[in-house]
Structure 1
Amino acid sequence: MNWIDVQRVFASDGQPDDASLQRWVDTALAALNEDTEIVVRIVGIEESAELNSYYRAKQGPTNILSFPFEAPDIDGFESALLGDLVVCAPVLAAEAEQQGKPLLDHWAHIIIHGVLHLLGYDHIDEADAEEMENKEIVFLQQLTIRNPYLQVTDHER
């Protein structure tokens, strides 16, 4: 079972409910046959920018930050915690509008993207990025959400 702790420290319209967050996490973790725990923290611009600066040395907010859990080196220590996802709601809303995507579809994509980072996937080089994007596309298709990497034309909006 996948357990998520949702921390809403920023209020805004269009945020997904806990059941949607759970469904998206479950979809991304369906092949993982073990219990997991994930924290999903929904924040505003200021907290996202502070974390992005501190942990990535990048200025400004970002849509999601993933913090994989690093277990201490203690004999017998066990934890189901995969890590934390910090989602910046205003950045997601702006991106969805700019890209002409339904807001909740973009939330689903970003949550799945973050979970894949917690599992060790990245997009540093082209081959890894393609692998990660293909997984995202498959998971989103399972949720009947279109490929987020396709360009949306004006007549499709």
Structure 2
Amino acid sequence: MNELIVDRQAAINEPLLPTLAQLTYWVGCVFAHHPDDPRREVTIRFVDEAESQTLNRDYRGKDKTTNVLSFPFESPPGIDLPLLGDLVICHAVVAHEAQQQGKSLEHHYAHMVVHGTLHLMGYDHIDDQEAEEMEQFERELLAELNIPDPYSVDIHTPDDDNH
């Protein structure tokens, strides 16, 4: 099995961002359920609200900030690279959601990383059945990390407008 590589980028100066070890652990939890996937490299970039809004507008047509954006890597024909893709996480949004929902910041970050990594692997929540399957898998993965069900709160996060 290939080694998991997580590249942590911080475009903001924020002491409360997850460490590389935490990110690798959370992404590794997802990969533990996909041991045969050869794409073992993920970049996770932490950004401010302006960059989040710009990327969300330019790539998704939604002119607002969001918690996590997933950009799966699409290899050109004939080129075999182990890149899964990039996650872009807006700290201000994640911190606000965690506070609003009464969750620890660490737990909410873990959820965003798991959720985003699943998107990179092709999971989605466009229709109700896909959403139920993806959310159930997230619950199971987060339970393995000793994190409570993120969907047990009144506010549904990450909401369907994000990613």
Q: TM-score range by the shorter chain?
A: over 0.9
Structure 1 counterpart of 2:112, from 90, 107, 110: 110
Between the two proteins, what is the percent identity of the paired residues?
A: 45
Determine the C-alpha separation between the residues in 2 that align with 1:66 and 1:14: 21
Aligned twin of 1:119: 121
- The letter of the residue matching 1:140 is L
- Give the unaligned 5+ runs of structure 2: 155-163
Aligned twin of 1:155: none
Q: Name the TM-score, length of structure 1 as normaliser.
A: 0.92
- The letter of the residue matching 2:27 is V
Aligned twin of 2:143: 141
Structure 2 counterpart of 1:61, from 57, 61, 65: 65
> 1:93-145, CA deviations, whole angstroms, 9 ceiling, x for partnerless residues?
00000111000000000000000000000111100000100111011000100
Offset at 1:151?
A: 2.2
Q: Name the TM-score, length of structure 2 as normaliser.
A: 0.89
1:97 equivalent to 2:83? Answer no
Aligned twin of 1:50: 54
- The letter of the residue matching 1:100 is G
Offset at 1:56?
A: 0.4
- The letter of the residue matching 2:137 is K
Give the alignment's Cα RMSD to 1 decimal: 1.1
Tell me the secondary structure at the aligned position of residue 86 of structure 1. strand
Offset at 1:29?
A: 1.1
Structure 1 counterpart of 2:16, from 14, 17, 32: 14
Tell me the secondary structure at the aligned position of residue 61 of structure 1. coil
- The letter of the residue matching 1:110 is M
Offset at 1:2?
A: 1.1
- Give the unaligned 5+ runs of structure 1: 153-157
- The letter of the residue matching 1:31 is H
- The letter of the residue matching 1:21 is L
Aligned twin of 2:158: none
Aligned twin of 2:75: 71
What count of residue pairs does the alignment treat as equivalent? Answer: 150
